[in-house]
Amino acid sequence: MSNEQILKTSKLTKSFGNLIAVNHVNLEIYKEEVVGLIGPNGAGKTTFFNLITGLEIPDEGQVVFKGTDITAIPPHKICQLGMSRTFQVARSFTEMSVEEVIRVGAYNRKKEKEVQEKVDWVIKFFELEDIRNYKCSDLGLASLRKVEVARATATEPDLLLLDEVGAGLTSTELFRLMSEIKRLNQETKITICVVEHVMQMVMGLCERIFVLDAGELIAKGVPSEISNNQRVIEAYLGRRGYSESSSAS
């Protein structure tokens, strides 16, 4: 991790009606690090990604990416500037082949003649050679998730945001995917921010972790600080206590 910031948010806020989904969040991500964004369901993690990638307009606050104020800039422009993301819902490109999906990503920052080179590099990196001509609708969940990460990587991001790319995978599949994400960071120096529910994976993969609860950033630090943080423990246990009592009624 370098000491140069790639992303900084100040007082970032978004409400939906009376609900404050993201509440005055100040955080900074440094170049080349892998950071985790965690928090109970509904904590505001996806909304935070939506705000920094331009899918949602903040009510208040600012997003600075690579020294440029990108608050409320349209998503495709932010992607061209070098921020890319995966989406929580998979199966968006069902009729396309694996290679076609990755090609769509590669057109983001590459000219026609460099696109194939990028596509080939990404396919090789993620070991997708055997399935490059498969239709996405024919893939299992683990492959589909890998293709989604590969598509986002093909856009040539400086900052890659991964929203629960491991959801629904077996622990072996999840471990493999996380190893690939780690290798991607080590070999390409792409800065990566992951939202992931499996705590063991977040702790193993991330250098630093941010914790959101009910829209507020309640903690940030290295994994050992986070796992011993009283507010974090309460946020998770409190939510579990709530869902247990609500499902019992």
Where along the sequence are the contacts to ligand ATP (CB under 6 A)?
16, 19, 21, 39, 41-47
Query: Judged by CB, which is closer to ligand ATP: 56, or 99?
Result: 56
CB of 58 to ligand ATP, least distance (A): 13
191 contributes a contact to Mg ion by CB under 5 A: no
Beta strands in the chain (DSSP E): 5-16, 19-30, 34-38, 60-65, 68-69, 83-85, 159-163, 191-195, 208-213, 216-221
Q: Structure tokens of 201?
A: 């994976």
Query: Judged by CB, which is closer to Mg ion: 21, or 119?
Result: 21
Which residue in the block uniquely carries the two structure tokens 């199966």?
A: 91
CB of 231 to Mg ion, least distance (A): 20
CB of 89 to ligand ATP, least distance (A): 10
CB of 41 to ligand ATP, least distance (A): 4
CB of 163 to ligand ATP, least distance (A): 7
Contact pick of 46, 108, 143, 153 for Mg ion (by CB under 5 A): 46
Interface region with Mg ion, contact rule CB under 5 A, candidates 43-51, 56-64, 89-97, 99-107: 43-51
Q: Structure tokens of 109?
A: 């920052």
- What's the Cα-to-Cα distance from 78 to each of 41, 75, 82, 142, 157, rounded to whole Å? 27, 5, 7, 28, 10
CB 11 within 8 A of CB 24: yes
CB 59 within 8 A of CB 14: yes
Query: Judged by CB, which is closer to Mg ion: 144, or 195?
Result: 195
CB 102 within 8 A of CB 152: no
Query: Judged by CB, which is closer to ligand ATP: 55, or 142?
Result: 55
Amino acid sitting at position 136 = C
Query: Judged by CB, which is closer to ligand ATP: 51, or 150?
Result: 51
Q: Which letter does DSSP use for residue 42 in this model?
A: T
41 binds, among ligand ATP, Mg ion, none (CB under 5 to 8 A by kind): ligand ATP
Q: Which residues bind Mg ion (CB under 5 A)?
A: 45-46
